[in-house]
Amino acid sequence: PDNNYQVLAGQQIEYYLKSLAESSERVELVSIGKSVQGRDIWRVHIRPYGDTGEDVRRNAVWFEAGIHAREWISPATACHLLDYLVADKSLTNNLDVYMVPVANPDGYEFSRTNDRYWRKNRRTNTGSSCRGVDLNRNWDESFGVGASSNPCSEVYKGTEAFSEPETEALSTEMQRVSSVDDLRLMISLHSYGQVLLYPWGYTTDKAPKTRMMKSAGRRFARGAKTSYNTKYTVENSATGMYYASGTTDDWAKAALEVPLSYTLELRDRGGNGFTLPANQILPTSTECRGKGSTSDNQLRDKR
């Protein structure tokens, strides 16, 4: 039924990823670490077509999804994108695609079974009865500026940068990828708001390559509009939303110097918010791929 918020359980996503890796030679699945409660954090790598296994430096993109537990549309969109990327031969040509579809597996499970609006991970905080660290405040970039030191806060930053196994695993693997490849694009998938955010989030100072992030961002928005006329705006995190620090996008920009670093807030604009009806999963995934967008047409012409 459309309205009962069906979503893949974490384990079902695991099975899906494993079957994808088994059925396609191009897909490599690796556990990059364990969550607080011991769940695997899976990282998918889609190698380009015709990859001979040589150690060549390629352009790479990194997708992170599900760092916030209640934003169910994020892992769902990530899985649909995976499906699309594995099936499409031309799109991933000479490009390494990396993805972590469920970056906060404990929180995701908790949101499914106990508290639909859970956001953080499931850390037991010493000296407090409140659990969880906001994993999108725990990265080692201007840690603490515009985040809370109260364990009961929804935006609790944790005891120190990378105190959480989830952010530790993600950042270590992102660092490794950026040492073997040229990481050109990083997108962290969230909801909701239909806005593509670019750094910085902790200051209104201009980040390097802002013009490029804006123009590429507008191209995304144009593409996203073509499927169902859904409007996405492109904004700076700090001015367009609110100050936040210790986030994935700022860290990728600052520490790894990823030229295009974004947080993408998926559907909707607040009508349903986090409890986006299941019948919007597929449209959301489809429009974000920009079917019918300029880049898609160009790719089609090249085939």
Q: Which residues are annotated as catalytic?
A: 265
**Residue facing ligand 0X9 at closest CB distance:** 201
The region, left, alpha or beta by phi > 0 then psi within -120 to 50, assigned to residue 66 is left
**Which residue's CB is nearer to ligand 0X9, number 136 or number 293?**
136
The interface with Zn ion within residues 67-86 (CB under 5 A) comprises: 68, 71
Strands (E), the chain: 27-34, 40-46, 59-65, 95-100, 182-191, 195-198, 233-236, 260-266
Select 42 or 139, whichever has its Cβ closest to ligand 0X9. Answer: 139
**Can you give 238-289 as a three-state secondary structure string?**
HHHCCCCCCCHHHHHHHHCCCCEEEEEEECCCCCCCCCCCHHHHHHHHHHHH
Q: Rounded distance, CA 140 to CA 168, Å?
A: 10
Nearest CA among 284, 286, 243, 222 for reference residue 71: 284
Provide, rounded to whole angstroms, the least separation between the CB of residue 249 and ligand 0X9: 5
What does 237 bind: Zn ion, ligand 0X9, none (CB cut-off 5 to 8 Å by kind)?
ligand 0X9
- List of residues contacting ligand 0X9 (CB under 6 A): 68, 71, 136, 190, 197, 199, 201, 237, 241, 244, 247, 249-250, 263, 265
DSSP label of 207 = P
What's the closest the beta carbon of residue 269 comes to ligand 0X9, in angstroms?
12
Min dist CB 197 to ligand 0X9, Å, is 5
The mark string for 6-45 relative to Zn ion (x by CB under 5 A, - otherwise) is ----------------------------------------
Q: Which is nearer to Zn ion, 20 or 67 (CB)?
A: 67
Cα–Cα distance, 280 to 284 (Å, whole number): 6
- Closer to ligand 0X9 at the Cβ: 141 or 181? 141
Interacting residues with Zn ion (CB under 5 A): 68, 71, 190
